[in-house]
Homo-oligomer: A and B are copies of this chain.
Amino acid sequence: MKNRIHFNICERQEDEKARLFSAIELEKTTIGYYNLPEQDINGILEYVKEFNSDIENIVVLGIGGSSLGAKAVYEFLKPVKTPLRKLYFFESTDPLNIMDLLSKIELEKSHFLVISKSGTTVETISIFKYLYLRQSSASNYTFITDKESALDKFAKDIEAKTFYLPAGVGGRFSVLSVVGLLPLALCGVNIKELLSGANRVKESFFNDGYLKESLLNKAIFYAKYHTTYNINCLFAYSETLRYFSEWYVQLWGESLGKKQCNSAFHVGVTPIGLIGPKDQHSFLQLIVEGTRDKSITFIKIEDFQNELTVPDITLPHLESLDMLNGITFHDLITMQSDSVLEALKMQGDIPLDEILIEKVDEDSIGQLIYYYELLTSLVGQLINVNTYNQPGVESGKIILKNKLQKNKKVKK
């Protein structure tokens, strides 16, 4: 992948970059996600090799960090690579959504991955209870959770297979751990390639490679202007990146939306996922003429490896559109993103950059994932937040528990 930056970088920030780099090198020794690209995946690969070949559906019961990463990779690759098995996600308590999903899967041909770091996620366990009553054979379930969690103990009781989250890896940074790798490998995704893509970005950053400068410069810019440009839009020119952008929203929002360490000051850059060219007809007007509070990152696929072409035909009265004749849709969508980038550049006061990924494959999405994880860690360091916790969601959970307990008593 490449990253082209179209905003002005301050020349005199060598010290700042060196300090930031050291801080991240230090963080790497305690935060688990940094080293996932080199993990031993033999346990996963062996499990997949011996997996029941009658199973047609892999069904993830998980929410947030337990589902968004695998979904991003699976949906990215689906249009170019028929999955070995279909991947489904139960990630809502909406009864209509649960019914709809149930109507799509045959229980006998489905294997369920119950994923919850804490082991007591309300959404996941409520749906698990519902399914377990209908399908209670332990061989149809695999659990992914923290060692010694309540869910781990339950899994041991019913003698089901369990995988553990590696130490120091939070949910939203877990896609390259067993949380993402297991469902993906079961669906035929080449997880070795996924990790080697991630490792390429890791090496590049930590060993003075091609991405180090742009990552440091970009993070410093975002941090310096985080109150001015308080929104970051990821404008991806391919429908294949729709769920990657949902993953990015969680990663960015939950990691950087915080009270600053040792202060009561609220900070955070709000993430927005856009898909081109569709959102040229929806959100672009706001970027061009609206408040100057947004930085924009374009993501382009360099080679769609697809020759689909607008036919060379003239339609009466529509001759003005003959300029489209004979163009591949690949070239068309590339010209569309280039045109919007140029138009925004002309505005002069919108920070823009471009990420180019080679093609739609495991290696490319592995790179993109690790790039965004690194960028998030870098910005988090600079705006002085704890990138890896999420204390803000606790109070809602406590209120819900109280409501549920009250409800239970009333019923009794």
**A interface with B by C-beta (< 8 Å):** 63-65, 68, 78-80, 91-100, 119-120, 122-123, 125-126, 129-130, 132-133, 150-151, 153-154, 157, 171, 227, 230-231, 237-240, 246, 249-250, 253-254, 256-259, 266-268, 270, 272, 275, 277-278, 280-294, 304, 306, 308-311, 313, 315-318, 320-333, 335-336, 338-340, 342-344, 346, 360, 390-393, 395-397, 399-401, 403-405, 407-408, 411
A129 surroundings in chain B (CB, below 8 A): 310-311, 313, 315, 321, 324-325
CA distance in complex: A272, B287 (Å): 14
Least CB distance from A287 to B in Å reads: 7
Contact B335 A403 (CB under 8 A): yes
CA distance in complex: A266, B349 (Å): 12
Contact B97 A130 (CB under 8 A): no
**A389: nearest residue on chain B (CB-CB)?**
B285
Least CB distance from A304 to B in Å reads: 5
Known A308-B130, A313-B132; contact A93-B336, beta-carbon cutoff 8 A: yes
Contact B331 A282 (CB under 8 A): no
New A-B pairs, 13, CB < 8 Å, besides A153-B317, A253-B282 = A79-B97, A80-B96, A94-B239, A96-B240, A99-B306, A122-B324, A126-B327, A129-B325, A132-B313, A231-B231, A246-B282, A257-B285, A285-B392
Contact A92 B239 (CB under 8 A): yes
Contacting residue for A400 out of B238, B288, B308, B336, CB 8 A:
B336
Contact A286 B256 (CB under 8 A): yes
A313 surroundings in chain B (CB, below 8 A): 129, 132-133
Contact B304 A96 (CB under 8 A): yes
**A397: nearest residue on chain B (CB-CB)?**
B339
**A237: nearest residue on chain B (CB-CB)?**
B94
A294 surroundings in chain B (CB, below 8 A): 270
CA distance in complex: A333, B91 (Å): 12
Contacting residue for A257 out of B95, B290, B401, CB 8 A:
B290
Contact B393 A329 (CB under 8 A): no
CA distance in complex: A321, B153 (Å): 14
Least CB distance from A213 to B in Å reads: 28
Least CB distance from A129 to B in Å reads: 5
* CB-CB nearest 9 A-B residue pairs: A64-B281, A257-B286, A257-B290, A268-B290, A288-B392, A250-B282, A343-B396, A95-B329, A153-B317
Known A95-B330, A318-B125; contact A64-B282, beta-carbon cutoff 8 A: yes
10 A-B pairs with CB atoms under 8 Å apart are A94-B333, A98-B329, A99-B308, A120-B321, A171-B281, A253-B290, A270-B286, A323-B401, A335-B404, A344-B396
Contacting residue for A339 out of B64, B344, B396, CB 8 A:
B396
Known A282-B250, A392-B285; contact A123-B239, beta-carbon cutoff 8 A: no
CA distance in complex: A42, B136 (Å): 54
A335 surroundings in chain B (CB, below 8 A): 400, 403-404, 407
Least CB distance from A155 to B in Å reads: 9
